[in-house]
Amino acid sequence: MKKGLIEHVIEKKVFIIIVIILLMAVGFYSYINIPKQNFPEVVLPVAAVTVVYPGASAEDMEELVTKKVEETVMSLNGFDYCSSDVYENYCTVTVCLDMNLSQEEVDESFDDLRLKVTSLKETLPGGVTQISVNTDIMDTAGLLVAVTADNISGDELVQRATELKDRLKLLDGVKKVDIYGEQLSEVKVTVDVNKLNALDLSLSEISSLISAQNSMIPAGTMDIKQNVMTVSSNGKFASIDEIKNIIVGSSKSNGVIYRLSDIAAVKKSVPDEPRYYYNGEPSNLLVLYFDKGINVVTMTSSIRDAMEAFSGTLPDNIQVHEVYLQSNVVKTAINGFVENLAEAIILVMLVVMLCINLRNSIAVSIAIPLSILSTFILLPWFGVDIQFVSLAALIVVLGMLVDNSIVVSDSIQSRLDSGEDRYAAAVKGTEAVARPIFVSMLVAVSGFSSLFTLSGAYKQLAFSLPVVVITCLVICCLVSLLVTPLMSYLFLKKHDGKKEDKFKKVAQIYDQYFLMAFYHRKKAIASALFFLIVCALSLTLINFELVAKADKDVVTIEVRGDRENGLDKTEAVVKQIQGILAEQPEVEYYLSGVGQGIPRYDFSVLPKGVGDDVGDIFVRVDLRKGKRFDMTKDMVAYLQKELDEKVSGGQVIVDELGVIAFMTKPVEIKLYSDNLEDLNTASDMVAEVMSSIEGTKNIINSHDISTYNYYVDMDTKKLNSLGLMKAEVQNELSLALMGRDVSLYREGSKEYDVFLDSNIDSQTMLENFKVKSSATGSKYQLQQFADISPEPHLTGITRIDGHRGRVVGSYVDGGHSNVAVQSKLENKLSKLDFPVSVTLEKSGEKKEYMNVVKTIAFAAAVSFILIFLILVYQFNSVKKALIAFISVPFGTCAGIAGLFLTGQNLSLFALIGIISMIGVVLANAIMLIQFIDDERLKGASVLDACKTAGVKRLRAILTSTTTATLGLLPLAVGGDTLFIPMARLLMSGLIISMMINLIFVPIIYHLVYSDGKDNDPANSPAAI
């Protein structure tokens, strides 16, 4: 007789055991080497096109440049949306592609963007000096390092930072290192226009003179006695005094020579540039980026060793501070999650040992390490690394890893107890349950595979969960059908009855309540339906959210000034905040950016950009020090209140890190209109309604406002009569007012820009400023050919998807639902009359949430269809397939009620938990229905088969549900905030589903298939 696979496994037991050991060893090795990170990287395909057009007003910039750039980006393959920020002299158009595009498609679209922007240059005004495309704005830094010093120049601080940069660049796995916040000196030449007006000289000519006096022109060569000798000369500035002594002209009356220092102040100075502060001290910021695909955890020691070695070379007054090290954050987080996984494994194994004897528990428990470690071997093939979601998936699937093995072990044990020998019991016991086990695995896999229908950022976030679970389930199925029989053959013995008696007490209790429900099934079904309705009502009370905050040890503070804010004003606000932070015992350190945001260091952080009104603060906290706050959100609320009361000069927004970056505010409305007045009126109406809703805070409503600026209206006829050209007038004004780098001064190994501007600081000085005609050589006051008056002009314009638009948004206090607040806002706005030209678009987290709900609903429908088809094929009956689904609505509603009762929100991962639960709870129903069918085939009546099904399968169902539930306990109690809702929903749902399966599956089966003869309550036991 031909032997089956199970027989071969048992007979080749030594070989199989060696293979098992090798698999676990390779799995452990794979775990060590798989790349690790905190959360899955959610790639946002975002690029920015920046165009610089000196002298252009915001409205000219919009009409001549921005609209053309928008047309270009909106023609890209996979275009999703774009937003534009238009200012005087420059604009930035940010484009976001569809997040369902593959990386290859994104790269192709961005390559196309570069080509189109290059072609676009020809259609832009000739005054455009720069157009750039940045496709790296969403890159995430792996390391932030602040370099501070006492009593040294900004130039020396940059030099030291550069030395550290050069060391870090040499480390393996480092992609690039940038330096931000350099406060480099420059040689500033500020011309006194009153003195310049008296000379036959223009700013353009001064610029040319400075450049000419600092040139290096090869002199040539000489042939001397058949040797070629190079002749060179020294044309570079040797000192600042040489710059001061440049001859710029002479007096026609007396021949007196004028030097540059006679008409201009020449000195070294530090320009007013964006800057960083570490704990209030000026600093340079080093930003390091890792190569993709590396194991960042292994980088911690090498980076810190390099920094420590460098610090040892520095004098005492220069310090290097580690602000943020991704590899250390990931290592700490992964270790904490691995502890949760280890606790879950211990709990599961304890449950197995309590429910079955030691020998059986050994045979069953081998499935856990073997399945998990084998999964680690396969993860790299699927592009999945080790992070919170993949580890959480292991915890979710943990209880299921022993389900099938328990069923196999229980089947083999039953045959041993009936007198069969170990070999026959192992083979026949496994064969008897192989089909339902395989079907159960297919059902569970179908449930989780539907999660692949998620789209966008949420697919990227959750992708590793179904991959890990499905991989584990398939491996577990193979282990239960091949390895568990072998382990059972080696360890199981016939029971002596003592431990069985203990479990019989549990079975007797179950049997008593089951028979009570069975013979009073109308009341039982009515009670169950009432319970279902009560649980379902929690759906109307629970709060909704997409993704919870991460509860990390970082607080972020954003400073928003108006567009008229200067850098000094923003710095004043930041310093107020720094003073308050310094008083908080929980604050370990803080890094502040003035004029520019802190480079993106976390997947949940969006780049803040550059601007005089931009302030950004990173705050590292340790809540244990102050003992005032339990969670980061508590400190966020406290700081927000403190800063609102004590800080003036700008809007301050305190927040904590999340999991992914949201491109919208939690509560948000978009408005569109070409009529600026209507747009401002409508946005004020939205902001007012928003502020009236309980729970809203930090309302953002940035007006596109007109401010008074000087406008120079040149008269063309007068220009022509004086021999002046508009271009030379504009060039002189640009040099006088904006200034320009005109040359480079070297001092030793250091280089300094030579910057030329003027001292014009009033309308009178501007009117009297003389412009030299290149045609006649004469100079004329500006007021001779132009009217100069203050006129209102837009200094900034916002546009969305090719139209003038505005975003009014707000954040939400803890304890309030973003979705609920948005719903209240939309309801109130629907009752208002807005200007006819204004169009409103609903946005915010609610829009995202509803899209996710639709996707999840579609995934659930796909899951239901797949599972239903499998069950119909398995049972060859539509009725039996529907009976198996009885526990699903109960588990779902009970899970949601469990979230509500424990104070959790219905989040993305909670919704995913509902889909995940479908396949899990159906496994028990399949076992029960299959047992009833088998008993009926043996000749038992429907009544007897239904009455004994629960008792016979009680141990397997109770053990598997308990292991699955307790396996989730570490995640539900001490896990990451992202997965706590999912774990609690699954725990509640699994427990209730088990009870429904054990009691109501046999009852409904009996109602559907009974001939009615055994329905008489008189047939019930007297005890009932």
CATH value at residue 898? 1.20.1640.10
Angle, helices 403-417 vs 464-478, to 10°: value is 20
Residue 762 vs residue 251, higher pLDDT = 762
Q: d(Cα 548, Cα 817) in Å, to the nearest integer?
A: 11
User: 750 exposed, middle or buried (CB, 10 Å; 0-12, 13-18, 19+)?
Assistant: middle
Both 771 and 907 in one domain: the answer is no
Q: d(Cα 201, Cα 71) in Å, to the nearest integer?
A: 45
Query: Tens digit of pLDDT for each residue in 257-290?
Result: 889 998 999 998 888 888 999 999 999 999 999 9
Q: d(Cα 893, Cα 899) in Å, to the nearest integer?
A: 10
| Two tokens, residue 203 | 């700013």
Which amino acid, one-letter code, is at 857?
A
Query: Tens digit of pLDDT for each residue in 423-460?
Result: 888 888 898 888 888 888 888 888 888 888 887 777 88
Phi, psi torsion values for 1019, nearest 5 degrees: -75, -10
Residues 6+ apart with CB under 8 A from 421: none
Q: d(Cα 643, Cα 645) in Å, to the nearest integer?
A: 5
| Two tokens, residue 718 | 């007068």
Both 16 and 49 in one domain: the answer is no
pLDDT (0 to 100) of residue 357:
73
> Which of the 8 DSSP states describes residue 200?
S
Share of the chain above pLDDT 90, in %: 40
**Sign of the CA dihedral with 509 first, then 511, 514, and 515 last:** negative
Kindly report the number of other CB atoms within 10 A of residue 517's CB atom: 20
Of 90, 110, 137, which residue constitutes the final position of a domain? 137
Residues 6+ apart with CB under 8 A from 776: 722, 723
Q: How far is CA 848 from the centre of its chain?
A: 15
Query: Tens digit of pLDDT for each residue in 996-1019?
Result: 999 998 999 988 987 655 544 434
- The answer to whether residue 979 is domain-embedded is yes
Q: Per DSSP, which regions of 561-705 are E strands?
A: 587-596, 610-621, 651-656, 667-672, 696-701
Kindly report the number of other CB atoms within 10 A of residue 449's CB atom: 20
Query: Tens digit of pLDDT for each residue in 45-54?
Result: 899 999 999 8
| CATH number, residue 69 | 3.30.70.1430
Both 891 and 1002 in one domain: the answer is yes
3-state helix, strand, coil in the chain (%, to 5): 55, 20, 25
User: 822 exposed, middle or buried (CB, 10 Å; 0-12, 13-18, 19+)?
Assistant: buried
Q: d(Cα 435, Cα 873) in Å, to the nearest integer?
A: 12
- The answer to whether residue 646 is domain-embedded is yes
Q: How far is CA 19 from the centre of its chain?
A: 41
- The answer to whether residue 852 is domain-embedded is yes
User: 54 exposed, middle or buried (CB, 10 Å; 0-12, 13-18, 19+)?
Assistant: middle
Q: d(Cα 279, Cα 617) in Å, to the nearest integer?
A: 10
Q: d(Cα 163, Cα 167) in Å, to the nearest integer?
A: 7
Query: Tens digit of pLDDT for each residue in 329-373?
Result: 888 778 877 887 888 888 888 877 777 777 788 888 888 889 999
Q: d(Cα 99, Cα 455) in Å, to the nearest integer?
A: 8
pLDDT (0 to 100) of residue 218:
63
Residue 654 backbone zone (phi > 0: left; psi -120 to 50: alpha; other: beta): beta
Q: By the 8 A CB rule, do 687 and 667 touch? A: no
Kindly report the number of other CB atoms within 10 A of residue 129's CB atom: 12
Q: d(Cα 366, Cα 974) in Å, to the nearest integer?
A: 26
Both 562 and 531 in one domain: the answer is no
Query: Tens digit of pLDDT for each residue in 863-913?
Result: 888 889 988 988 889 999 999 999 999 999 999 999 999 989 998 889 888
Tokens 């390099």 correspond to: 306
Q: Would you say residue 1 has pLDDT above 60?
A: no
Mean pLDDT of 606-614: 85
Residue 513 vs residue 920, higher pLDDT = 513
Average pLDDT of every residue of the chain: 87
DSSP bridge pairs for 132: 50
Q: Where does the pLDDT of residue 564 fall: very low under 50, low under 70, confident under 90, or very high at 90 and above?
A: low
- The answer to whether residue 229 is domain-embedded is no
Mean pLDDT of 715-741: 89
| CATH number, residue 721 | 3.30.2090.10
Of the listed ranges 55-69, 122-136, 238-252, 795-809, the one predicted with least confidence = 238-252
pLDDT (0 to 100) of residue 1014:
53
- The answer to whether residue 684 is domain-embedded is no
- The answer to whether residue 222 is domain-embedded is no
- The answer to whether residue 734 is domain-embedded is yes
Q: Taking the chain, what is the end-to-end CA distance rounded to the nearest angstrom?
A: 52
Side-chain half-sphere of 904: how many Cα atoms within 13 Å?
A: 29
pLDDT (0 to 100) of residue 610:
83
Tokens 């297919």 correspond to: 442
Domain count, the chain: 5
Mean pLDDT of 701-720: 81
Q: Quickly list H helices, 463-497.
A: 464-478, 484-491
pLDDT (0 to 100) of residue 462:
85
pLDDT (0 to 100) of residue 565:
66
Residue 671 vs residue 498, higher pLDDT = 671
DSSP bridge pairs for 697: 811
What is the pTM (predicted TM-score) of this model? 0.84
Mean pLDDT of 671-679: 90
Mean pLDDT of 839-862: 88
Both 543 and 556 in one domain: the answer is no
Both 364 and 487 in one domain: the answer is yes
Q: Where does the pLDDT of residue 23 fall: very low under 50, low under 70, confident under 90, or very high at 90 and above?
A: very high
pLDDT (0 to 100) of residue 1018:
38
> Which of the 8 DSSP states describes residue 785?
T
Mean pLDDT of 19-40: 89
Both 510 and 562 in one domain: the answer is no
Q: Where does the pLDDT of residue 967 fall: very low under 50, low under 70, confident under 90, or very high at 90 and above?
A: confident
Q: Where does the pLDDT of residue 546 fall: very low under 50, low under 70, confident under 90, or very high at 90 and above?
A: confident
pLDDT (0 to 100) of residue 216:
61
Both 454 and 535 in one domain: the answer is no
Q: What are the distances in angstroms from CA 973 to CA 343, 906, 970, 976, 984?
A: 12, 17, 5, 9, 9
**Sign of the CA dihedral with 448 first, then 454, 456, and 457 last:** negative
Identify the CA nearest to 333 among candidates 547, 554, 146. Answer: 554
Both 758 and 907 in one domain: the answer is no
Q: d(Cα 235, Cα 798) in Å, to the nearest integer?
A: 48
Query: β-strands 281-290, 318-325: how paired?
Result: unpaired
Mean pLDDT of 941-966: 83
Q: Per DSSP, which regions of 331-433 are E strands?
A: none
Query: For residue 865, what are the domain limits?
Result: 503-548+844-1015
Q: Would you say residue 529 has pLDDT above 70?
A: yes
Q: Would you say residue 633 has pLDDT above 50?
A: yes
| Element holding 151 (H helix, E strand) | none
Both 376 and 488 in one domain: the answer is yes
pLDDT (0 to 100) of residue 232:
61
Both 774 and 852 in one domain: the answer is no
Q: d(Cα 807, Cα 666) in Å, to the nearest integer?
A: 12
pLDDT (0 to 100) of residue 1024:
32
- The answer to whether residue 948 is domain-embedded is yes
Mean pLDDT of 375-390: 89
Q: By the 8 A CB rule, do 960 and 402 touch? A: yes
Both 779 and 855 in one domain: the answer is no
Of 794, 813, 835, which residue constitutes the final position of a domain? 794
Of 119, 137, 155, which residue constitutes the final position of a domain? 137
